[in-house]
């Protein structure tokens, strides 16, 4: 039994065994149920042949394992951290709250709602630590036990918030894209039913709504139109059917009834596993954001504008790419025989790399998750009136911006990403179902063994080596049959 501040703490050796057993049983039971639910969900996804979503689930498991390891390190090393002593003067700078700190006899402290540092009575979970070790030297520990405890709770809330908000964004995006299924059915049914005729380019609705003429004024107006278009009807039926036809005529001309909608959903599911994870560079941003949480700076208020500005920039760029497709056709042709066909190209995207967009969306969702998780962490840990929370004039705009980002990304930016990023030179390997992918990659590997000196043509600048190989198969081996199904029928 230990005496601290006039209060006694009962150690495990003096705790009734039934209490220890009961608490351990509840914790183990909850953990086991959660693990079984994830396992069962994985089996359902595999049974339904949802490999991209299954891969995303595996990514979530990896993140949970990383979080568990981080929490374990914080618990095991907290004794060692307590023995790292620093001068008390160093704790007077770069604080999230103003006011003087008063160290207690336990040599650990937390920031109160009044801005003062008050003591706690948390014991070392790892054992072997001496809370008065630094006090005897006239110093303070590098990080208090209470602060360590609250820190790993924040990290856990951040990761969970990122996964949940990413999932909500994808669900909203797919819900918004449901209407495209009817457009896909209509486009497939109209194949071969429309007589070939010559039409002036301005007669096409896609050109009429997107083409703004020539000159400096038209250039500015096209960007302004693209900016505001992302807030209403970001993708219309004519946009969809035109880009669908452009994709088919570029990548699978032999199959005019190719299901472009299913292909986009498969690509979106495949990219979801990238978005749901927390990459190493995102953890660096977390460290930078924590460093900037200094009293008087209101850093989190200004940081909240970063994902909003990026999201608006991404949405504007994606809308402008559609406009550029219309401009290129209008500038090259005055009349067109048959349907309007646009030409996909990587030069339409930033740095000629369509995949940059998904990395920006990843960062936007993570930054938004950081804002949301930090708000709820402060609210539940210190209360709404905490000095860390900031003034209400800064809190309300931050919450409003986070909600706006969540819905705008789900209902507008993500659907735009799903269709516009298909307007590059290459295509995603999700164009094939899983069985065909495995068969083709096996065939390619066998061909590489037989012809080690063969050089693969990389003139299409694809970012994915597998996509290069699969594209060569489609272009040059369109008659390949695997398991009785032609590739063009995938």
- Alpha-carbon Rg for the chain, nearest whole angstrom, is 29
Residues 290, 216, single domain; the answer is: yes
Q: What is the pLDDT of residue 305?
A: 92
Q: Is residue 158 part of a domain?
A: no
Yes or no: say if 226 and 172 are a contact pair by the CB < 8 Å rule.
Answer: no
Q: Are 25 and 141 in contact (CB under 8 A)?
A: no
Entry pTM: 0.74
Model confidence over 369-407: pLDDT tens digits?
888 888 888 888 888 887 877 778 888 898 999 999 999
Distances (CA, A) of 196 to 33, 238, 239, 340, 427: 62, 18, 21, 11, 29
Question: Are both 480 and 386 inside the same structural domain?
Answer: no
pLDDT value at residue 426: 77
Tell whether 343 and 447 lie within a shared domain: no
Copy the structure tokens of residue 90. Answer: 């160093």
Residues 203 and 347 in one domain: yes
Do 373 and 452 have their domain in common? no
Answer yes or no: is 303 within a domain. yes
- At 56-114, the pLDDT tens digits run 777 777 777 777 788 778 778 877 888 888 888 887 778 888 765 544 333 344 444 44
pLDDT of residue 131: 61
For residue 116, the model assigns a pLDDT of 41
| pLDDT computed for residue 316 by the predictor | 93
Residue 143, pLDDT score: 81
C-alpha distance from residue 375 to each of 50, 110, 308, 447 (Å): 35, 18, 17, 55
pLDDT of residue 485: 35
Output the CA angle 136-140-145, nearest 5 degrees. 110
Single residue among 396, 425, 454 that ends a domain in this structure: 425
Residue 56 is assigned to a structural domain of this protein: no
Residue 88 falls within a domain, yes or no? no
Does residue 159 belong to any structural domain of this protein? Answer: no
397 forms beta bridges with: none
Domain termination site, one of 403, 425, 447: 425
Which residues constitute the domain of residue 362? 165-425
In a domain, 421, yes or no: yes
**Do residues 439 and 419 share a domain?**
no
- 193 and 233 in a single domain? The answer is yes
3-class DSSP string for the chain: CEEECCEEECCHHHCCHHHHHHHHHHHHHHHHHHHHHHHHHHHHHHHCCCHHHHHHHHHHHHHHHHHHHHHHHHHHHHHHHHCCEECHHHHHCCCCCCCCECCCCCCCEEECCCCCEEECCCCCCCCCCCCCHHHHCCCEECCCHHHHHHHHHHHHHHHHHHHHHHHHHHHHHHHHCHHHHHHHHHHHHCCCCCCCCEEEHHHCHHHHHHCCCCCHHHHHHHHHHHHHHCCCCCCCHHHHHHHHHHHHHHHCCCCCCCCHHHHHHHHHHHHHHHHCCCCHHHHHHHHHHHHCCCCCCCHHHHHCHHHHHHHHHHHHHHHHHHHHHHHHHHHHCCEEECCCCCCCCHHHCHHHCCCHHHHHHHHHHHHHHHHHHHHHHHHHHCCCCCCCCCCHHHHHHHHHHHHHHHHHHHHHHHHHHHHHHHHCCCCCHHHCCHHHHHHHHHHHHHHHHHCCCCCCCCCCCCCCHHHHHHHHHHHHCCCCEECCEEHHHC
pLDDT of residue 452: 57
Q: Is residue 279 domain-shared with residue 395, that is, in the same domain?
A: yes
Task: Tell me: do 290 and 401 sit in the same domain.
Answer: yes
Q: Which residues pair with 8 in a beta bridge?
A: 3
The confidence score (pLDDT) of residue 400 equals 92
- The total of structural domains in the chain comes to 3
Cβ proximity of 379 and 154 under 8 Å:
no
Say yes or no: 273 and 399 in one domain: yes
pLDDT at position 403 is: 92
**Residue after which a domain boundary falls, among 374, 401, 425:** 425
Does 170 share its domain with 297? yes
Q: Note down pLDDT in tens along the chain; length 490 residues.
A: 444 444 456 777 777 888 878 888 888 888 888 888 888 888 887 787 776 677 777 777 777 777 778 877 877 887 788 888 888 888 777 888 876 554 433 334 444 444 444 444 444 444 445 567 788 888 888 888 888 888 878 888 888 888 888 888 888 888 888 889 899 888 888 776 656 666 677 777 787 777 666 555 577 788 888 899 888 878 888 889 888 888 888 888 878 888 889 888 888 887 887 787 777 888 888 888 888 888 778 888 888 899 999 999 999 999 999 988 888 888 776 667 667 788 888 888 998 888 899 899 999 998 998 888 888 888 888 888 878 777 788 888 989 999 999 999 988 999 999 899 888 887 766 665 554 555 555 655 666 666 655 544 444 444 444 444 444 444 433 333 333 333 333 3
Q: Does residue 253 fall inside a structural domain?
A: yes
Looking at the domain assignment, is residue 233 inside a domain?
Answer: yes
d(CA 117, CA 108): 9
> Is 438 in the same domain as 328?
no
């Amino acid at each position: 039994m230990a005496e601290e501040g006039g209060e006694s703490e009962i150690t495990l050796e003096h705790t009734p065994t039934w209490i220890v057993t009961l608490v351990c049983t509840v914790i183990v039971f909850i953990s086991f149920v959660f693990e079984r639910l994830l396992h069962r969900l994985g089996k359902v996804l595999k049974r339904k042949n949802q490999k991209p979503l299954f891969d995303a689930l595996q990514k979530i498991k990896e993140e949970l394992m990383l979080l568990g390891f981080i929490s374990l390190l914080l618990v095991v090393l907290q004794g060692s951290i307590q023995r790292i002593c620093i001068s008390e003067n160093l704790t007077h700078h770069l604080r999230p709250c103003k006011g003087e700190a008063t160290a207690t006899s336990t040599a650990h402290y937390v920031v109160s709602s009044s801005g003062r540092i008050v003591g706690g009575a948390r014991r070392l979970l790892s054992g072997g630590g001496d809370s008065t070790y630094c006090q005897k030297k006239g110093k303070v520990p590098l990080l208090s036990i209470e602060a360590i405890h609250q820190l790993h709770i924040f990290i856990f809330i951040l990761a969970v918030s990122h996964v949940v908000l990413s999932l909500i964004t994808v669900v909203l995006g797919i819900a918004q894209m449901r209407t495209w299924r009817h457009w896909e059915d209509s486009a497939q049914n109209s194949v071969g039913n429309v007589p070939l005729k010559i039409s002036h380019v301005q007669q096409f609705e896609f050109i009429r709504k997107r083409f703004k003429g020539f000159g400096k004024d038209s250039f500015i107006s096209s960007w302004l139109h693209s900016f505001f278009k992302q807030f209403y009807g970001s993708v219309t039926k004519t946009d969809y059917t035109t880009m669908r036809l452009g994709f088919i005529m570029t990548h699978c001309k032999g199959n005019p009834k190719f299901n472009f909608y299913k292909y986009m959903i498969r690509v979106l599911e495949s990219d979801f596993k990238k978005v749901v994870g927390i990459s190493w560079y995102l953890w660096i941003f977390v460290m930078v954001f924590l460093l900037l949480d200094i009293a008087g700076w209101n850093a989190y208020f200004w940081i909240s504008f970063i994902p909003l500005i990026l999201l608006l920039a991404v949405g504007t760029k994606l809308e402008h790419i559609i406009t550029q497709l219309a401009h290129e056709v209008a500038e090259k042709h005055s009349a067109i025989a048959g349907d309007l066909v646009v030409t996909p190209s990587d030069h339409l995207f930033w740095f000629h790399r369509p995949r940059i967009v998904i990395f920006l969306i990843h960062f936007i969702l993570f930054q938004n998750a950081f804002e949301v998780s930090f708000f709820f962490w402060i609210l539940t840990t210190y209360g709404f009136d905490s000095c860390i929370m900031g003034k209400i004039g800064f809190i309300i705009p931050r919450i409003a911006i986070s909600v706006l980002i969540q819905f705008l990304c789900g209902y507008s930016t993500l659907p735009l990403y799903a269709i516009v990023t298909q307007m590059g030179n290459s295509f995603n390997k999700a164009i094939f179902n899983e069985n065909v992918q495995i068969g083709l990659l096996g065939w390619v590997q066998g061909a590489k063994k037989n012809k080690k000196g063969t050089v693969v043509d990389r003139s299409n600048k694809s970012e994915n080596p597998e996509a290069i190989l699969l594209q060569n198969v489609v272009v040059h081996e369109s008659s390949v049959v695997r398991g009785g199904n032609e590739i063009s029928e995938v």
